[in-house]
Amino acid sequence: MAKEGVFPYRARHPHRQLSTLKMEKLTVPKFRAMKAGGRKIVMLTAYDYTMARLLDSAGVDGLLVGDSLAMVVQGHHTTLPVTIEQMIYHASMVARAVQRALVVVDMPFLSYQLGIRDAIANAGRVLKETGAHAVKLEGGADQAEVIAALVKAGIPVMAHLGVMPQSVLQSGGYSVQRDLSRLVADAKAVEQAGAFAVVLECIAAEIAAQITKQVSIPTVGIGSGAECDGQIQVVHDLLGLTLGKVPKHSKCYADLKSLAVAAVTRYCEEVRSGAFPTEKQSFQ
């Protein structure tokens, strides 16, 4: 008779147990074509294997291993401290988990600002060492040369305009962006350079709508209104796991923080009272 496993393999690694909404694997060209096809793009951030599995199985189109992990996972005050090694570490967990979604990885601060050679080497490392599909970097016309060089090297690039958290020390904060002519020029510059999509962060809704109309690549908004071609949110905000203030542009679809604290409080009580473990959780 087979012995009862202590860690049943399938329970720990249920690779086939989660149903995936629609198994058509997304590629960069399919992602880009969603705009022309009128299909809204759904993205979330992800930083680890388990969460990426859950989000992929729920049917998101893209997962961003955002440098927001510096704040959300590592507890820093800005996105600046996260390193390329740390991004690669998290991105490889996410890429390993995913069956359908496109995996995009943020290029962290100073991994692409020091010159084209450096940018290609770092972005190349991200793709080679993680299994992710694309990188994202912050900037418009000022980064067009870097974007073009990455694309020429075969590295798909998602651009990022509006609030650019890597420049927070220079900008002094995260205020809503409203400069229509500069933002449209930046969006056109990244499109021209070969970016396959562009994130619009905290841009006034009317301005984001104008940008969306004026470029052929998809715009993926966060705090930039409903007219963007898609939306992205930080998963901790969406699931109610954020410890501090949740941004105005986020909506909590669940309160996992309360559920987690209640569950662990009960566990503490049961261990202390002797109610856990019972025979059911014990081996004879």
Binding site for ligand KIV (CB under 6 A): 45, 64, 66-68, 106, 199, 201, 222, 232, 234
3-class secondary structure, 233: strand
Q: From the CB of 164, what's the least distance to ligand KIV, in Å?
A: 9
Cβ-based nearer residue to ligand KIV, 119 or 199: 199
Q: At 150, which helix (H) or strand (E)? A: helix 144-152
Query: 177: which DSSP letter?
Result: B
Q: Which of 191, 201, 206, 227 is catalytic?
A: 201
Cβ-based nearer residue to ligand KIV, 68 or 177: 68
**The residue to which tokens 């991994």 are assigned:** 111
Which residues, other chains included, contact 283 with Cβ-Cβ below 8 Å and sequence gap of 6+?
4, 6
Q: From the CB of 22, what's the least distance to ligand KIV, in Å?
A: 24
Cβ-based nearer residue to ligand KIV, 35 or 276: 35
129 is catalytic: no
Question: What is the Cα–Cα distance from 148 to 153, expressed in whole angstroms?
Answer: 9
**Selection from 59, 124, 51, 54 nearest residue 90 by Cα:** 51
Cβ-based nearer residue to ligand KIV, 49 or 276: 49
Question: What is the Cα–Cα distance from 164 to 118, expressed in whole angstroms?
Answer: 21
- Which residue in the shown chain puts its C-beta closest to ligand KIV? 66
Strand partners, 63: 44, 103
**The residue to which tokens 């002094």 are assigned:** 172
Q: From the CB of 197, what's the least distance to ligand KIV, in Å?
A: 11
Question: What is the Cα–Cα distance from 219 to 82, expressed in whole angstroms?
Answer: 25
Cβ-based nearer residue to ligand KIV, 26 or 164: 164
Question: What is the Cα–Cα distance from 219 to 197, expressed in whole angstroms?
Answer: 6
Q: From the CB of 181, what's the least distance to ligand KIV, in Å?
A: 23
Q: From the CB of 25, what's the least distance to ligand KIV, in Å?
A: 22
Strand partners, 198: 159, 219
Q: At 58, which helix (H) or strand (E)? A: helix 49-58
Task: Give catalytic residues, as residue numbers.
Answer: 201
